[in-house]
Chains A and B, each alone.
Chain A
Amino acid sequence: MPITLGALVAFVSLVVIAIPFLRRSGAALAARQTSEVERLTALRAFLYDQIGQLQDDHAANTIAEEDYRRQLLELRVGAAETIRQLDQLGYEEEPQDAPVSLTRESLEDEIAALRRAGSRRGSGTGQGSGSDEQ
């Protein structure tokens, strides 16, 4: 009985590790695409989380205004880029109850405005332009 159980564990292990070599290539491709969508949605969730935390810090006055604006811009640019990549994969859904401020349209409008403001400040002070951030 113990030997049979050991042999069973060995057999199951062999089957499990052999499966990736036996799968059809189409299934593997679909799995990779699904995996990419999952990666991007997880990244988007992560960036939204970071934006929320940053806004809380700002509301509680524990972050300098300049730092807040710069970090917010970085995070929003990241979120917009992620959404754009999801679009390219045919995944257009927003999280069901995401705040209005985190929808694709509002993000892109706000990023454009922040970049315009950044460019004006940058040209005035001799710092890099907004296009560096893309």
Chain B
Amino acid sequence: MANLGTMCLLLALALAAYAGIGSVAGARLGSGDLVMSARRSSYMAGLALAVAVGALVYAFVTHDFSIEYVRGHSDRAQSQAFTWVAMYAGNEGSLLYITAIFTAMSVVAIYVSPRRLEPSRPYVIAILMGITVFFVTVLLTLADPFAPAPFDDGRGVGVNPLLRHPGMFIHPPLQMAGLVGIAIPFAFVSGALIAGQTRDQWLDAARVSGIVVWAVLSAGLLIGAWWAYTILGWGGYWSWDPIENVAIMPWLVLTAFIHSVMVQKRRGMFRMWNVALLGMMFVLAQFGLFINRGGPVVSVHSFGASTIGSVFLGFMLFSLAFAFVVFLWRYPALKSDRPLESFLSREAGFLVNNFLFLGVTFVTFWGVLFPLFSEFANNETVTVSAPWYNQINGPILLAIVILMGIGPLLPWRRTTMSSVQRWLSIPIGVSVAVMALIWISGVHETWAVIGFGSLTLVMAAVLEEWYRGVLAQRRAGHNFASGWWRMVNGNRPRHGGYIVHIAIIALGIGVIGTNFFQQRADVPLAPGESFTLDEYRVEYVGTDNEQRVDRVSEWANIHVYRGDDQIATLAPWRAFYPVFNMASVRAAVHNVPLVDIPLLPGYLNPGLEDLYIVPSEFLEDGRVVLRISINPAAWWLWVSGPIFIIGTLIALWPAPAFERRTVPARRRIPSAPQPAGSAGV
């Protein structure tokens, strides 16, 4: 299998190089056949890489420990299901995965790219395949997943214990795919600019591919948060760790782009700004790869210092120079069709939204780099931790949420202050009323109350917008349900976006609940003892343990009572892996429902709070140290994921049927066509 894998990597290198060079040469020489051949070569590069991935997976499944990567990341004891996880658990395998998934996404993007991008497609292919060539070259020279093992002891080391979690089947693949996929919208715009398509020809391709990548990255981040919540054992889900930061920075810029591209689509403005945003997010994605692959910042997620760090740094600097040169070259042609007419307009709202997103990005970027500067300048190691980020980014994120409530109600171009007052009066009124109610009910955490009020403003704004849209449909004779559906169908990008805003509301509820109202205790308990936190009594019944080839596992059996009623039986566990000299825990999480809906599984009931228990340590005298937390509204964090997906799918769904239907030509196309004339539009 090692031979097949290496062969396929070499083949992929040759095919990707031919695709890149051939497509540009074909475009320059006016040879359509060469361009077509090069495009097909990119498809075959994707196939070759898929076979290489298949070869590595096969080697894992058959325990082929003659391959060093397989020996170092699997053993005979591990479940076959984790073969897939093991495939990308280390530096070499994850790089192969990144290369394969990036090329596969590129192939799909090239294949479905709109016909109006025909002149720029060769350059798009060249950029995408250039990146593939870089990755495959690194694989063949510095991080070969098929390198032979120096010895074969027939056992293997096994996969990292922290990766033995269901979330690992989805989180790393999505996160890595999202990060490398950012190159696709960048390639669309850069290819178009190189080909001289400097107006809006690239807009839809960049927007759609940007939203797809954004959704993939969002899902990856959210599932990563869930993984951290259940396995890292500190009861949180986001720690502003450097690797989390380098993943969220491109996401923030991409989110800004998804908003500002609407202004370009509707008003022909922000063209230059959007090109700059795409360049910025591409460079930030390369920065993430650099930090993750042997960069100088230490993280629980990174692959540690390695020689390829400097190679990725070089590629990042090259990406920066490339994006900058293309931007400067076409700068004069990128000017907006019209100026910003008023600050009381939707486009101005989008601009402020963009500045805020970039503000969070800059703060986060500074937080990642500051320890390096500090060490370089003062020879002093400084750690920038979560409270610093929360203190600075928190208010900016709050401002973004408030703007989410105001922006959608502003009309395009300009409006008057009286119109703004009229449109905003109901959402602001509802928001203030909710804040007052929360305060009166005894919650006096000022920032939390403002946060809940802001989320209410967003919800009220979406509902008001929908109400006005449905009223317009009612005037056309539709009832509320069909009117709502027709309204959503008529402008899916906008209304899909509003559903994503609702997902943000759910996420916001979870973030506020867990950050401001969490209760926590670390208590040692002997069998039969119990501890009461708030209204829950946690009784430690005893311990079960199990010895396996690769680990020793211990379960803490726990009964949970509220009043006299036992509401749950939980069994959080802790396992020690001697080969890795590492312990891994798995929290037990009980969702206490806000409303108990009969016939619905417990985890689907809208959650009031999570009772979260982790066994930090099993003591020799039979006691266990439990970390017990009450995490209010944590359920809402995870429910935001499906809402995100629904909203994104609606935003991306193709236009209504009558416009997309393929209609057979009344006449056959003649063999000698008349001149088609200029496109004109």
Binding site for B on A (CB under 8 A): 2-3, 5-7, 9-10, 12-13, 16-21, 23, 26, 28-30, 32-39, 41-43, 45-49, 52-53, 55-57, 59-64, 67, 71, 77-78, 81-82, 84-85, 88-99
Contacts and interface: CB of A to CB of B under 8 A. Distances in A.
A77 B32 CA distance: 31
A99 to B, nearest CB: 8
Contacts of A60: 465, 468-469, 472, 487
Given A39-B118, A52-B490, A56-B490, A62 B676 contact: no
DSSP class of B's interface residues: helix, strand, loop or mixed? Answer: helix
16 contacts: A2-B1, A3-B3, A6-B7, A10-B7, A16-B44, A17-B37, A30-B669, A33-B673, A39-B114, A43-B679, A49-B659, A53-B490, A59-B476, A91-B666, A95-B658, A95-B659
B412 interface: yes
A85 B676 contact: yes
Contacts of A33: 669, 673
B677 interface: yes
A39 B121 CA distance: 14
A42 B656 CA distance: 13
B669 A91 contact: yes
B41 interface: yes
A57 to B, nearest CB: 7
A88 B677 contact: yes
DSSP class of A's interface residues: helix, strand, loop or mixed? Answer: helix
Contacts of B51: 5-6, 9
A92 B674 contact: no
A9 B413 contact: no
B548 interface: no
Contacts of A96: 658, 661, 663
Contacts of A93: 663-666
B491 A53 contact: yes
B21 to A, nearest CB: 13
Contacts of B7: 2-3, 6-7, 9-10
Interface residues of B, number: 69
A62 B107 CA distance: 39
B671 A30 contact: yes
Contacts of B37: 17-21
A67 B115 contact: no
Contacts of B282: none
A6 B413 contact: no
Contacts, number: 188
Interface string B405-429: 0000001111000000000000000
A85 B36 CA distance: 25
B651 to A, nearest CB: 13
Contact of A5 (B4, B118, B679): B4
Given A2-B3, A90-B665, A97-B657, 15 more contacts: A9-B8, A9-B51, A10-B7, A13-B44, A16-B40, A17-B44, A41-B663, A45-B660, A52-B655, A57-B491, A88-B674, A89-B676, A90-B669, A91-B669, A92-B666
Interface in B638-681: 655-671, 673-677, 679-681
Contacts of A49: 655-656, 659
B188 interface: no
B33 A20 contact: yes
B676 A88 contact: yes
Contacts of B476: 59
A48 B659 CA distance: 7
Interface string B143-180: 00000000000000000000000000000000000000
A3 B7 CA distance: 8
In the A-B complex, the 8 residue pairs with the closest CB atoms: A39-B115, A78-B681, A6-B7, A2-B4, A13-B44, A59-B472, A20-B36, A49-B655
B676 A9 contact: no
Nearest to B668: A90
B40 A17 contact: yes
B562 interface: no
A39 B659 contact: no
Contact of B469 (A5, A12, A30, A56): A56
Contacts of B276: none
A94 to B, nearest CB: 8
B680 A81 contact: yes
Nearest to A33: B669
Nearest to B677: A85
Contacts of A61: 411, 468, 472
A6 B468 contact: no
Contacts of B664: 93
A62 to B, nearest CB: 5
Nearest to A93: B663
A77 B680 CA distance: 10
A2 B665 CA distance: 48
Given A17-B40, A67-B412, A81-B680, A6 B673 contact: no
A23 to B, nearest CB: 8
B204 interface: yes
Contact of B3 (A6, A26, A91): A6
Contact of B115 (A7, A10, A35): A35
B18 interface: yes
A4 to B, nearest CB: 9
A41 to B, nearest CB: 8
A117 B411 CA distance: 25
A28 B677 CA distance: 20
Given A30-B671, A67-B412, A20 B40 contact: yes
Most buried by A among B36, B43, B664, B681: B681
Contacts of B8: 6, 9
A40 to B, nearest CB: 8
A20 B178 CA distance: 33
Nearest to A97: B658
A87 B67 CA distance: 62
Contacts of A55: 490
A86 B668 CA distance: 12
A10 B55 CA distance: 15
B412 A43 contact: no
B560 interface: no
A35 B32 CA distance: 13
Contact of B11 (A2, A13, A57): A13
Contacts of A91: 665-667, 669
A89 B669 contact: yes
A43 B308 CA distance: 45
